[in-house]
């Protein structure tokens, strides 16, 4: 029996039998008790280290080049394909209920054979092993990670994203509920070079088999799937969202929760608004006329981060006050830095990554051994083409002021990555600066969750796709209708949380980046407890957009109407707007059909049938009433305390 097994069992913790067998029969085990130990192991003590394997038919193959830099570890993959998450990565090996593709259906053979091959390959490796807690704040489960020791950078990413658990912190009665086995050569020998992550949900342990070294689909989203599976069993949701608490110059405090598909602006909710050299704020640039529009805001709101990508909506943190409560579900944040292209684009993130309080892990950043990794130096996928998915893993504890406890959500926004829209080339880019959504329509957006085009985070197909229910469906293992019902109950149980829809990249013919959600944050924080006047909003021309704003002023600076009502843009007009609206309606109708199953909640069925019948905004309100009075009943800082 190995020394590690003896130590674990002496702590009163039982290892899964397949893990125990692997550790007893492998070439060697390196157990990592701290994340700092993994930092040293990432480059094997060298300044630069190649992570390589002998691949039958290919010979020695280099997966990644890892460098030790002044502010942590930098890893770069040799293939551009490996620098983004493939949305078709997940397959299910077990026979438990699922709407996902099963391993046998995709590959034509049972998983048990390759599972055995995986363990035989791992037995020939020196292994890196450590414990983690998938989740945070006592919500989640204990797990064990097993990877080739030379893939230390991947193990480091996993240990940072999840909570690294030291051997001495194990307690009698702790149960290992998840395990992750990493075997990167199998993507070449069995999967035609593609990213594959296999979920095998046994009665006792949720097993993950990661056949690649990009942490996105496995160490992060794979273990997100473990948490979603737990919530599906217990009746709660882990939202795919970011969150901040924003404080106005007048001491109003508003909590924003921003959901959406990858590329929908979750990490960007944490960004500060960058001023132009003359102090003004650029709203956007007209892509037809090249006109630029600015506003002046003398003082911005301040904010503190709550969550970056995942948040627990767990029953233990809820109160019966009509507002949704959330708590961050991650130990570190997997921050995309594609919008940081030069010094000064994001001073907060630049400061945290250039002089961090602890070593960070950089991915897809062009670096030199011993130098400082700079988040705007994105590696090139090919000459002249920058990688769209540069990343840094930022531990929560390195971010001063990050809120540890649960928060009550005032504004629950949904981000949509929109394309340029004109009357000659219409698209779904008809969404104004932001819209107010009735609860029923907000639920529909969370079922359809458009991924948008030119997504920087994942390998795309060029066609608009749905991210699926909750915008977290690519990571869930169970059934769509179960999550649809959970989200509907969550929405109807929290009538005092208001829903908005906000675009990024384009508003009609105007290129706007992520300014809409940042300006929404500024405006709604300043409103405090004030209600919208009846003349300030009206039903949107496209009912799926809920209510549109008639006028919007921030600190005496008026937002032009063309940013609120896209059909007021000369380049779009009613003709272009209506054509885009038809595209959006068709997309919704196509995606919603799959939820009309016998298990769908009756209220949900009414909402979907209303959409299929082109309901008006008021008809949606008749199904699930919306209250503007409750929706904007914000609190002061003292109330939150």
When pLDDT is cut at 50, 70 and 90, the band that residue 563 belongs to is very high
* pLDDT of 460 above 90: no
Give the Cα separation of 598 and 608 in Å (integer): 13
Q: pLDDT averaged over the chain?
A: 93
- Model-wide pTM > 0.95: no
Share above pLDDT 90 across residues of the chain, in percent, rounded to a whole number:
88
CB-based burial label for 495 (10 Å; 0-12, 13-18, 19+): middle
- Give which of 169, 198, 294, 235 is closest to 485, Cα–Cα: 235
Residue 158 confidence (pLDDT) above 60: yes
The confidence score (pLDDT) of residue 634 equals 33
Tokens 């843009």, residue? 569
Note the helical H segments in 26-179: 35-41, 103-107, 111-123, 152-161
The Cα 520–Cα 222 span in angstroms is 32
Name residues whose C-beta falls within 8 Å of residue 177's C-beta, 6 or more positions apart in sequence. Answer: 134, 141, 142, 143, 204, 205, 206, 226, 230
Range list of H helices, 537-601? 573-592
pLDDT at 339: 87
Tell me the mean pLDDT in the region 272-278: 92
Cβ atoms of 257 and 470 within 8 Å: the answer is no
pLDDT at residue 630, as a whole number: 39
Does the pLDDT of residue 1 top 80, yes or no?
no
Nearest-angstrom CA–CA distance, 500 and 519: 13
DSSP for 111-130 reads HHHHHHHHHHHHHTSEEEEE
pLDDT of the residue at 111: 98
Q: Which of 379, 122, 336 is nearest to 220 (CA)?
A: 336
Alpha carbons within 13 A on the beta-carbon side of 511: 8
User: Among 399, 339, 384, 336, which residue's Cα sits nearest to residue 364?
Assistant: 336
Phi, psi of 51 (to 5 degrees): -90, 105
Q: Phi and psi dihedrals of 386, rounded to 5?
A: -75, 145
Residue range 626-636, pLDDT digits in tens: 875 434 433 33
Query: Is pLDDT above 70 for 66?
Result: yes
What token pair was written down for 89? 């990565």
Q: What Rg value do the Cα atoms of the chain yield, rounded?
A: 24
Paired residues of 311 in beta bridges: 239, 328
Label residue 345 exposed, middle or buried (CB < 10 Å: 0-12, 13-18, 19+). Answer: middle
In degrees and rounded to multiples of 5, residue 48 shows phi and psi of -140, 140
Question: What number is the average pLDDT over the span 277-293?
Answer: 97
- Token readout for 249 is 């110059």
Annotated domain spans of the chain = 3-39+83-152+167-234, 238-324+409-635
Coil, strand or helix at 449: coil
**Which fold, 238-324+409-635?**
Phosphoenolpyruvate Carboxykinase; domain 3 (3.90.228)
Query: Residue 233 is inside which H or E element, if any?
Result: helix 221-234
pLDDT given for residue 635 in this prediction: 36
Task: Give the CA count within 13 Å in the CB-facing half-sphere of 86.
Answer: 19
Reply yes or no on whether the pLDDT at 454 is more than 90. Answer: no
Q: What is the pLDDT of residues 379-390, one digit of tens each?
A: 999 999 999 999
Q: What is the mean pLDDT of residues 397-423?
A: 95
Residue 614 CB contacts under 8 Å (≥ 6 apart), including other chains = 543, 585
Residue 19 pLDDT > 50: yes
Encoded tokens for 455: 């997504």
Of 575, 547, 267, 551, the residue nearest 431 (C-alpha): 547
CA 557 centroid distance within chain? 33
The predicted structure's pLDDT at residue 124: 96
Q: Which residue has the higher pLDDT, 638 or 253?
A: 253
Average pLDDT over residues 126-150: 95
Name the helix (H) or strand (E) containing 554: strand 553-554
For 221-269, the pLDDT digits (tens) are: 999 999 999 999 999 999 999 999 999 998 999 999 999 988 899 989 9
pLDDT score, position 547: 97
Q: Is the pLDDT of residue 638 over 50?
A: no
Same fold, 3-39+83-152+167-234 and 238-324+409-635: no
How confident is the model at residue 370, as a pLDDT? 97
Percent of the chain with pLDDT over 70: 96
Name the residue among 593, 537, 331, 549 with its Cα closest to residue 431. Answer: 549
Helix or strand run (H / E) with residue 54:
strand 48-55
- Torsions phi, psi for 564 (to 5 deg): -100, -35
CATH number for 3-39+83-152+167-234 (one of 3.40.1550.10, 3.40.449.10, 3.50.50.60, 3.20.20.70): it is 3.40.449.10
Over the stretch 474-532, which tens digit does the pLDDT of each residue have?
999 999 999 999 999 999 999 999 999 999 999 999 999 999 999 999 999 998 767 78
Q: What is the pLDDT of residue 151?
A: 97
């Amino acid at each position: 029996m190995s020394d590690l097994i003896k130590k674990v069992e002496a702590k009163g913790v039982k290892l899964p039998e397949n893990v125990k067998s692997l550790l007893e029969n492998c070439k060697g085990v390196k157990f990592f008790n701290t994340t700092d130990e993994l930092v040293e192991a990432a480059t094997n003590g060298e300044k630069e280290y190649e992570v390589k394997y002998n691949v039958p038919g290919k010979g020695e193959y280099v997966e990644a080049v890892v460098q030790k830099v002044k502010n942590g570890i930098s890893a770069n993959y040799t293939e551009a394909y490996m620098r983004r998450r493939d949305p078709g990565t997940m397959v299910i090996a077990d026979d438990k209920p699922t709407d996902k593709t099963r391993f046998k259906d995709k590959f034509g053979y049972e998983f048990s054979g390759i599972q055995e091959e995986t363990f035989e390959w791992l037995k020939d490796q020196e292994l890196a092993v450590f414990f983690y807690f998938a989740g945070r704040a006592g919500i989640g489960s204990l797990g064990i990670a097993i990877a080739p020791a030379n893939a230390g950078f991947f193990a480091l990413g996993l240990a940072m994203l999840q909570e690294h658990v030291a051997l001495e912190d194990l307690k009698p009665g702790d149960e290992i509920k998840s395990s992750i086995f990493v075997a990167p050569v199998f993507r070449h020998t069995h999967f035609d070079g593609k990213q594959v992550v296999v979920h095998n949900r046994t009665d006792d342990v949720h097993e993950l088999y990661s056949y690649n070294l990009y942490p996105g689909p496995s160490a992060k989203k794979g273990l997100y799937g473990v948490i979603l599976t737990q919530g599906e069993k217990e009746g709660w949701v882990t939202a795919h969202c970011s969150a901040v608490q924003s404080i106005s110059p007048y001491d109003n405090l508003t909590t924003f929760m921003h959901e959406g598909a990858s590329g929908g602006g979750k990490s960007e909710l944490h960004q500060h608004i960058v001023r132009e050299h003359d102090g003004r704020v650029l709203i956007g640039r007209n892509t037809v006329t090249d006109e630029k529009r600015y506003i002046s805001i003398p003082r911005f709101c301040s904010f503190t981060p709550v969550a970056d990508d995942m948040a627990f909506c767990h029953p233990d943190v809820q109160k019966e006050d009509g507002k949704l409560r959330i708590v961050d579900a991650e130990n570190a944040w997997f921050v995309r830095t594609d919008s940081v292209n030069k010094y000064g684009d994001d001073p907060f993130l630049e400061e945290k990554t250039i002089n961090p309080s602890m070593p960070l892990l950089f991915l897809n950043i062009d670096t030199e051994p011993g130098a400082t990794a700079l988040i705007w130096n994105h590696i090139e996928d090919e000459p002249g083409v920058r990688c769209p998915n540069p990343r840094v893993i930022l531990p929560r504890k390195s971010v001063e002021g990050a809120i540890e406890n649960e928060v009550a959500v005032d504004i629950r926004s949904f981000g949509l990555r929109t394309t340029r829209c004109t009357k000659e080339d219409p698209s779904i880019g008809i969404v104004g600066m932001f819209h107010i959504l009735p609860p029923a329509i907000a639920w529909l957006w969370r079922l359809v969750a458009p991924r948008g085009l030119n997504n920087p985070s994942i390998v795309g197909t060029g066609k608009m796709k749905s991210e699926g229910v909750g915008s977290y469906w690519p990571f869930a293992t169970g059934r769509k209708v179960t999550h649809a019902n959970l989200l509907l109950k969550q929405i109807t149980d929290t009538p005092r949380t208001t829903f908005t829809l906000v675009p990024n990249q384009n508003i009609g013919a105007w290129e706007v980046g992520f300014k809409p959600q940042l300006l929404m944050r500024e405006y709604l924080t300043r409103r405090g407890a004030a209600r919208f006047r009846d003349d300030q909003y009206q039903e949107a021309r496209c009912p799926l957009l809920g209510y549109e704003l008639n006028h919007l002023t921030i600190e005496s600076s008026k937002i032009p109407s063309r940013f609120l009502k896209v059909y007021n843009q000369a380049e779009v007009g009613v003709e272009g707007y209506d054509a885009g609206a038809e595209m959006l309606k068709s997309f919704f109708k196509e995606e919603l059909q799959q939820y009309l199953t016998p298990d769908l909640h009756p209220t949900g069925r009414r909402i979907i049938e209303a959409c299929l019948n082109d309901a008006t905004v008021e008809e949606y309100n008749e199904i699930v009433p919306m209250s503007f009075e409750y929706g904007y009943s914000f609190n002061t800082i003292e109330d939150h305390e």
